[in-house]
Structure 1
Amino acid sequence: MNRSYNQLVSLEGDLREAISKDQLSLHYQPKVDVESGYINGLEALVRWKHPAKGVISPNEFIPLAEETGLITRIDEWVLYEACRQNQEWIELGYAPERIAVNVSASEIQKDDFAYKVQRILAITGLAPEYLEIEVTENSVMQHTEDCIRTMQYLKSMGVSLAIDDFGTGYSSLSYLRQFPIHYLKIDQTFTKDVLTDPSDAEIVKAMIRLADAFKLGVVAEGVESEEVLAFLKENQCQFYQGYYFSRPLPPEEIVHLLTKQSVYKPKENPRSS
């Protein structure tokens, strides 16, 4: 127990140093249109390469950051860097894509979060329609009314909103109807076994129908095979993410997947005004 505690304390100190010395980086994973096969957005994912210990999994340092309060600084940095990078790509002539940023429960529940987003958009020059905020199902079920007000403000700004890891939480359908969201993201724990587990297959089908009933876009996560993609296409899932198309890539590699163009116009949010 002492050894485990000391390791956590050491990792916390290293994480504080990583934040202050810009040792964090972002990788981007494409969101792909199921029918056309074209990229329809990117998700920004934080990465940490420790100078001595190498790559440290987000599953290890994100819970620590949430426990110690460092998540606020990480969330703000990720939001800023994703917006800055996206604006840079647009100015270089790449077709604009919506960048999705995961936000912790503690952030979306803060009264000033929407103003923070507004400030970062103003600093980076990124148009709101090219930003998407992802929140987990459980995070919006805490302080629900406050979250709804924040999300309504973000939506009025033109920012897209998604419920991430859908199906793993305990949201009420009555509340889901009130959330001003544009997308539901089906968690990979259901997607990966749709071909071998009839229960998971039926759950995914039901989620797709639910999204359609609420006029929401639906994204399946964790797609790793052509057969799973065919299942999603057959059941009219709109978008997917996963290693079948691409793993998360650093900025210098993701540009090879982006489309160059000199004239562009904003994309519409699918199934939503």
Structure 2
Amino acid sequence: MIEVERAGRSFTHRRKAGVLRRERHVVHAVRDLTFSVAPGEFVGYLGPNGAGKSTTIKMLTGILTPTTGRVRVAGLDPSRRRTALARRIGVVFGQRTTLWWDLPLRDSFELVRHLYNVDQGDFRRRLAELEELLDLGSFLHIPVRQLSLGQRMRGDLAAALLHAPSVLVLDEPTIGLDVVSKAALRAFLRELNAERGTTVLLTTHDLGDVERLCSRVMVIDHGRLSFDGTLGDLRATAPEESSIEDVVARLYTGGG
């Protein structure tokens, strides 16, 4: 469902090197990145700030074009087929919403229906299902700006799923949520993956998300993949008494 082959992404900027001179400086955000995700996998994509996670997501969703290598999602080149890809994937960013700030949540969903040209019957059926699974009913009439963070997060997730995508990309979906909201969101994602077979790529700093949701873990650091395997494989890279936080931290610093 996701194929990344020797992908790289670099950025060029100029920095001051004297009173009148500037030097050209190249930053390699991602280097020689190769991995694939099979249909129905739930994969955790971990790394410290600046490791290349966001750059990878932007390449997978077509926001950025790889400088080198090849990327395919659902068989499509994301940067060349962004409109077609949008109908196959859903994206949720924990730190920013895709909903309309001043509209009631229900009206935001109606706009999403028009954007994706979802059949009215399919829309009503999916919204009813998502309303029940995510417990949306009590705040569908409330403007998005008045929702709590947990409510908004559930709204964003529902909006990303209304067009029934085969791939779901989640960027820090539980950031800032309380314990109850986190548990509800994790339960929903488990069911979505198990019952519908939705392929999920999750970036997070919350290792509780990884332990409860992911069948596979990838760790990226300095733009390169430093680990790819199961959570059990990851634990096996460190002494038995180490916590999962310790194991991942060692990989971040190149100790794994």
Q: TM-score range by the shorter chain?
A: 0.3 to 0.5
More strand by share: 2
What TM-score comes out, normalization by structure 2 length?
Answer: 0.35
What TM-score comes out, normalization by structure 1 length?
Answer: 0.34
More helix by share: 1
Higher CA-based Rg: 2
